Amino acid sequence: MAEIVLSHIKKVYPNETKKKGLFGKKKVKERKTNLQVTEEGVLAVQDFNLTVHDQEFVVFVGPSGCGKSTTLRMIAGLEEITSGDLTIDGVRMNDVAPKDRDIAMVFQSYALYPNMSVYENMAFTLKLKKVPKDEIDRKVRAAAETLGITQYLDRKPKALSGGQRQRVAIGRAIVRDPKVFLMDEPLSNLDAKLRNQMRAELIKLRHEINGTFIYVTHDQTEAMTLGDRIVIMKDGVVQQIGTPQEVFNHPANIFVAGFIGMPQMNFFDATLARFDNEFHAETAHFDIPLSPSVCRRLDETIDPASRVEVTVGVRPEQIQLCSADDLGALTGRIEVTELMGSTVHVHVSTPDASFVLVLPAGDLESEGGTLATGDEVHFKFEPEAVHIFDRETGVALS
């Protein structure tokens, strides 16, 4: 059992002062950051609230510097919690030493002991805990079997590939049989192919071992494929918490909408105009009627009388080619086509904005031949695909 509750967790890194220069003059060390800086210091994490359920796999995702590692390290006990409460299974952990939290952590850098064999690396913490030899042996061999590294048990880490080393690091965590696994970008040092393979193995692994997982990554694909729920962070502030489907289909704001999904969601500025119960998104050149369900939600979120300046978002997969006289049809010119195999990414410029469309590769075949750079195309958005955001605050209105 392990339920982890973070309640109003905050982290301030105090302003660093360093002795510098000939006269021992103190100079504040500056860090490049978008984070809020107060008199106390840098606000690396603000008001973080989350309940991670027993056996759940939660992913923290966000751009570099947004506070993912800091939050994870506070859970591990490697970083002091400035304020707020951390509990594991109802017990307050703020002041409990890392070794007493029943947590195992896996780092990006593997952190293996270079002069120990794989076996010794995996057995090390159990030996320290004076676990009987035969029990250690059983656990190490079982973990090695699960991870497919049995044949490397006698090797030193330097004789292993990056992927194998990371398996050892994960194995070292598994043998301890902890309540909680914390992983900080464990796959970031691997090449793309190996990363995909290890990602699939992690999905398998989590179903084989009982534990609660918190996994940190900057990679939205990893977050989407691994997480039961994902926590999207920016500048030390949680932007949205939800299942991969929820955050993909109903992003809470422009940041989440742009961060989740590849290629990125298309955005353009428009004005919302209302005709009775219908809303249209208007630009200088286009008038896009919005679907009844989008209109219903807008009706609840915005002031009926006003014309509202919005940002419209549409995912590249939710745009189709159409004919010029279709309702809501946009017209643009093809700038670039990128064949990705079964799909093609088509970059289209219109007078108001640029769009990326993801189309089945066959869609570019027209009666006159294959559509190519410079050709004019007409396209429209799937009715439910249109996201409307307040242009000023970025908050989703639809």
> What are the residues binding Mg ion (CB under 5 A)?
69
Q: Does 245 bind ligand ADP (CB under 6 A)?
A: no
Nearer to ligand ADP, 70 or 239 (CB): 70
Within a 10 A sphere around the Cβ of 40, how many other Cβ atoms?
Answer: 11
Q: What is the nearest approach in angstroms of ligand ADP to the Cβ of residue 60? A: 8
Site track 38-57 with ligand ADP (rule: CB under 6 A), x = hit? ----x-x-------------
Q: Check: CB of residue 194 under 8 Å from CB of residue 229.
A: no
Q: Does 68 bind ligand ADP (CB under 6 A)?
A: yes
Shortest CA distance to 320 belongs to which of 348, 292, 283, 290? Answer: 348
Nearer to Mg ion, 69 or 311 (CB): 69
Nearer to ligand ADP, 215 or 279 (CB): 215
Q: Which residues contact 231 (CB under 8 A, 6 or more apart)?
A: 50, 58, 59, 60, 61, 238, 240, 241
Q: Check: CB of residue 281 under 8 Å from CB of residue 270.
A: yes
Nearer to ligand ADP, 68 or 347 (CB): 68
Q: What is the nearest approach in angstroms of ligand ADP to the Cβ of residue 269? A: 30
Residue 121 CA to residue 335 CA, distance in Å, equals 54
Residue 49 CA to residue 39 CA, distance in Å, equals 24
Q: Check: CB of residue 21 under 8 Å from CB of residue 56.
A: no
Show the tokens assigned to 213: 């997982």
What is the number of H-type helices and E-type strands within the chain?
9, 24
- # residues contacting ligand ADP (CB under 6 A): 14
Q: What is the nearest approach in angstroms of Mg ion to the Cβ of residue 8? A: 22
Q: What is the nearest approach in angstroms of Mg ion to the Cβ of residue 185? A: 6
Q: Check: CB of residue 311 under 8 Å from CB of residue 267.
A: yes
Q: Does 313 bind ligand ADP (CB under 6 A)?
A: no
Q: What is the nearest approach in angstroms of ligand ADP to the Cβ of residue 41? A: 7
Show the tokens assigned to 58: 């939660």
Q: Which of 6, 9, 61, 66 binds ligand ADP (CB under 6 A)?
A: 66
Q: Which of 4, 5, 9, 13 binds ligand ADP (CB under 6 A)?
A: 13
Q: Which of 52, 61, 67, 190 binds ligand ADP (CB under 6 A)?
A: 67
How many alpha carbons lie under 13 Å from residue 138 in its C-beta half-sphere? 6
Nearer to Mg ion, 69 or 166 (CB): 69
Task: Find the helix or strand (DSSP H, E) in which 175 lies.
Answer: helix 162-175
Nearer to Mg ion, 108 or 311 (CB): 108
Binding interface with ligand ADP (CB under 6 A): 13, 31, 33, 35, 42, 44, 62, 64-70
